[in-house]
Amino acid sequence: MRTALISGAGIAGLSLAYWLTEHGFRVTIVERATALRSGGQAIDVRGAARDVVTRMGLMDQIRAAHTGTHGIAIIDGKGRQIARMGGDDFGDSGGIVAELEILRGDLVRILHDALAPGSVEFVFGDTIAALTEHGNGVTVTFGKSGTRDFDIVVGADGIRSGVRDLLFEADVRDLGYYTSYFPARMDIDFDGWELMYCEPRRATLVYPVGTSGEVRAMLAFSGPEIPGARRDPKALLAKMFDGVGWELPGLLEQLRDTDDLFFDRAAEVRVQRWSRGRVVLLGDSAFGGSLGMGTSMAIVGAYVLAGELSTAGHEQAFAQYQNEMSEYVTRNQKRPPGSSGFVPGSRAGIWLRNQFMRLLPHLPGRKRMLGGIEKSANAITLKTYTRSVSPA
């Protein structure tokens, strides 16, 4: 039985674990966090990724967990809606807000539960410290749990991939802003809309989880990189959002107490060759930083990578994986118009962006402008790979 070590139990890692076990691999996942990371807001499952989750038998569960929000509404400091962008304004899968949104934590749980019990070994709270390839495998030195051999190693460890850092040359382009996500509670009426409030260089996006008062908050701010920002992100966020209006004081209070904070600097990743010897990259580690397509590309990439490995040895399979994926990835890494104005730098910039958002759903060419996302999301023809394990 061929063995695979996957670094990262995110969307890419869990999807790959599913498909590799279906193709007869023995899979181990090493995850830096001490448990599955369930944080984040809603993410989108678009285009070909829907085919893949259907092939995994998960479409009904994903549809059932669909958040049901209508789209994003921009509000002023008094909470009044001044522009709206609905999920159905641009056609299915076509807009900035996808029609099939699901909380990242729900998708992580669904993907994890799709693994046959006991079929995947999880090593939490550890990372890969070194990789040494030899004639018939890779010797992996873990940070804490010693040394083991595997046939292949996959870096599915996100935008700041440790596997990538060990072996690959990458172009990691800074996108100029920090993002953070944390769960909170808010006692306001969302009426089914995700609410966005901006002040210069700072954006707050709050995602309601049903009508329970539970929300997922995102705070983002733009500006140059701050040395040591990751040392105390809570203090940094509190400083950056100090004095910001709307419901920020209450959110900052809850930020102080949360033990579920995701904080990172946005980046776009380009890696020329996604594999080196027996080691390969998948998901954000290889092609992170698209706007709204990262999850779908991770799901599709997992399907293709595992499928190719089921038909050939690692060398040919890795080359074929990149071959099959490259056009789809290139098209989906293009950022749609307007995305650079995510956190405008001035009140005038915010006003202009709001006017654009207000007009967008009514512009005659809107589907052409943003409908490109739908075409790109489907810009791959999925092969059928025979499973060695019959689906349950």
Ligand X SMILES: Cc1cc2nc3c(=O)[nH]c(=O)nc-3n(C[C@H](O)[C@H](O)[C@H](O)COP(=O)(O)OP(=O)(O)OC[C@H]3O[C@@H](n4cnc5c(N)ncnc54)[C@H](O)[C@@H]3O)c2cc1C
Q: Quick check: 142 binds ligand X (CB under 6 A)? A: no
Q: Which amino acid is at 124?
A: F
Residue nearest to ligand X (CB): 10
Q: Which amino acid is at 373?
A: I
d(C-alpha 354, C-alpha 346), whole Å: 12
For ligand X, the closer of residues 295 and 310 by Cβ is 295
Q: Which stretch binds ligand X (CB under 6 A): 5-13, 238-246, 272-280, 362-370?
A: 5-13
d(C-alpha 204, C-alpha 196), whole Å: 6
For ligand X, the closer of residues 298 and 377 by Cβ is 298
- Inter-residue contact 282 to 8 (CB < 8 Å): no
d(C-alpha 61, C-alpha 67), whole Å: 12
Q: Which of residues 357-386 bind ligand X (CB under 6 A)?
A: none
CB of 257 to ligand X, least distance (A): 18
Q: Quick check: 157 binds ligand X (CB under 6 A)? A: yes
Q: Which of residues 256-285 bind ligand X (CB under 6 A)?
A: 262, 283-284
Q: Quick check: 180 binds ligand X (CB under 6 A)? A: no
Binding residue (CB under 6 A) for ligand X from 17, 43, 373, 380:
43
DSSP label at residue 58: -
For ligand X, the closer of residues 13 and 94 by Cβ is 13
Q: Which of residues 84-103 bind ligand X (CB under 6 A)?
A: none
Q: List phi, psi (to 5°) of 208.
A: -75, 140
Written as one string, the DSSP assignment of 284-328 is: HHHH---SS-HHHHHHHHHHHHHHHHHHS-HHHHHHHHHHHHHHH
Q: List phi, psi (to 5°) of 88.
A: -100, 10
d(C-alpha 281, C-alpha 300), whole Å: 13
Q: Quick check: 33 binds ligand X (CB under 6 A)? A: yes
- State the number of binding residues for ligand X (CB under 6 A): 30
Binding residue (CB under 6 A) for ligand X from 5, 23, 27, 40:
40
Q: Which residues does 259 contact at the CB level (< 8 Å), separation at least 6? A: none
- Inter-residue contact 87 to 97 (CB < 8 Å): yes
Q: Which residues does 75 contact at the CB level (< 8 Å), separation at least 6? A: 81, 82, 195, 196, 197, 246
CB of 153 to ligand X, least distance (A): 11
CB of 179 to ligand X, least distance (A): 8
Binding residue (CB under 6 A) for ligand X from 127, 139, 254, 258:
127
- For residue 359 the two structure tokens come to 């007009």
Q: Quick check: 22 binds ligand X (CB under 6 A)? A: no
d(C-alpha 263, C-alpha 139), whole Å: 32
Q: Which of residues 298-337 bind ligand X (CB under 6 A)?
A: 298
Q: Which stretch binds ligand X (CB under 6 A): 25-33, 131-139, 358-366, 376-384?
A: 25-33
Binding residue (CB under 6 A) for ligand X from 28, 41, 69, 333:
41
Q: Quick check: 183 binds ligand X (CB under 6 A)? A: no
Q: Quick check: 28 binds ligand X (CB under 6 A)? A: no
CB of 364 to ligand X, least distance (A): 29
Q: Reading across the β-sheet that carries 120-124, which strands appear in turn? A: 120-124, 26-31, 3-7, 152-155, 279-281, 275-276
For ligand X, the closer of residues 31 and 324 by Cβ is 31
| 3-state secondary structure at position 126 | coil
Distances (CA, A) of 201 to 114, 151, 293, 353: 41, 47, 24, 13
Q: Quick check: 32 binds ligand X (CB under 6 A)? A: yes
DSSP label at residue 184: E
Q: Quick check: 13 binds ligand X (CB under 6 A)? A: yes
Binding residue (CB under 6 A) for ligand X from 17, 27, 30, 357:
30
Binding residue (CB under 6 A) for ligand X from 3, 4, 6, 7:
7
CB of 11 to ligand X, least distance (A): 4
Binding residue (CB under 6 A) for ligand X from 23, 46, 50, 104:
104
Give me the residues that bind ligand X (CB under 6 A), please: 7-13, 30-33, 37, 39-41, 43, 104, 127, 156-158, 162, 181, 262, 283-284, 288, 294-295, 298
